[in-house]
Amino acid sequence: MESIRAESVVKTFGTIRALDGISVLIEPGELFFLLGASGCGKTTLLRCIAGLETPDSGTIHFGTRDVTRMPPHQREAAMVFQSYALWPHLTVGQNIAFGLEERRVPKAEIARRVREALEMVQLPGYGERSIDQMSGGQQQRVALARALVVKPKCLLLDEPLSNLDAQLRVEMRREIRRIVKDNGLTGIYVTHDQEEALAMADRMAVLTRGTIGQVGTPEEIYRDPRSAYVANFIGETNLMSGEVLKTRERFAWVQTAAGTLTGRITDPAWTPVAGENARLSIRPEAWLLHQDTGDNPLAGKIVDRTYLGQRIQYWIETAAGRQQVVEMNPHSIHQPGEQSILLHARREDVVVLKR
């Protein structure tokens, strides 16, 4: 296991500044996610770490080694691409063995390590099959086996599940996390899929315009976003604007179009003052329907709903704008057009953010 550290990394393509002084530390054995909207710089950062791009400035370290200008094959890292990059004219075993043959490993050793790699990804005995006989999920496992067979210290994954259907993606999430942990690897995983990141990551970085918006565990990023961008990107949220009336002990009272709402200030670098503009982030599941008493009452009417079995999504029109509400394990179903809907949200579940 090795730590991976990027320090003040800058990368430009013509007039586009893809990475704008990014610094981040991935701990040994950590499965770390880079995520953000298209064009945020996550894949460029991964390619710099892999050695497929060279930063204009800044450094990249694997453990104590400065690998900033080291060629990819010397970094002891393996990469799994979105397209799998498998050779259709080679068998499964030949695809996996390719990296070992390039390293001039003896044939007996290659055969043994290919068998071990197939067992790691739960494809024992598949070595003689052709690639076109393999399903999408099996091809992804072959790509993982090819990366693992060279015994890397770091595994780099660039949106590896984006070509799979929904059920296979869920299965492969567990498999990739198991492989990283069982083999003592440091993993960096690029995705734009928020659910994938929340389900798999030890920690994650949310990127925006070549900078890091926030780093934290899935729980920290979801529960304690430090900007409206992060709150809106990770999961779903309701955002509303207001003016700060007062603050006390990291809570703020904010005047909105629907009255005064109270919430937590999550950015440790920001202490709002009275009169300052702010935004509130309230997750759909944080709103409580038809509770007679509680924090942050908000009245409205149902304008739409979606029934999803174990949960129901409602859209409720309020003086502060339309709110999405998710009710889990509903005992009754409310109908669109219902007036006199009363919402509450605990002040701990309302996040106050800089405008």
Sequential DSSP letters for 60-83:
EEETTEE-TTS-GGGTTEEEE-TT
Round to whole Å and give the CA distance between 343 and 316: 9
Round to whole Å and give the CA distance between 327 and 348: 18
Q: Supply the pLDDT for residue 238.
A: 97
What is the 3-state secondary structure of 280-342? Answer: EEECHHHCEECCCCCCCCEEEEEEEEEECCCEEEEEEEECCEEEEEEEECCCCCCCCCCCCEE
Q: DSSP E strands: which ranges in the chain?
A: 4-13, 16-26, 31-35, 57-62, 65-66, 77-80, 154-158, 186-191, 203-208, 211-216, 238-248, 251-256, 259-265, 277-282, 288-289, 298-307, 311-318, 321-328, 341-344, 350-354
Q: Supply the pLDDT for residue 302.
A: 93
Q: Supply the pLDDT for residue 95.
A: 92
Round to whole Å and give the CA distance between 14 and 346: 49
Mean pLDDT of residues grouped by 10 in the chain (355 residues)? 94 95 96 93 96 96 95 89 84 91 90 91 90 87 88 91 81 87 93 92 96 96 96 94 96 96 96 96 92 86 90 93 88 78 94 95
Strand partners, 300: 318, 341
- What length does the chain have? 355
Q: Supply the pLDDT for residue 15.
A: 93
Q: Are 62 and 77 in contact (CB under 8 A)?
A: yes
Round to whole Å and give the CA distance between 158 and 134: 21
The model carries a pTM of 0.89
Q: Are 207 and 220 in contact (CB under 8 A)?
A: no
Q: Supply the pLDDT for residue 11.
A: 97
Q: Supply the pLDDT for residue 236.
A: 92
Number of H helices, E strands in the chain: 8, 20
- All structural domains of the chain, each given as residue ranges with its CATH number in brackets, are 4-223 (3.40.50.300), 237-354 (2.40.50.100)
Backbone angles phi, psi at 254, to 5 degrees: -125, 125
* Beta-carbon contacts of residue 220 (< 8 Å; ≥ 6 apart): none
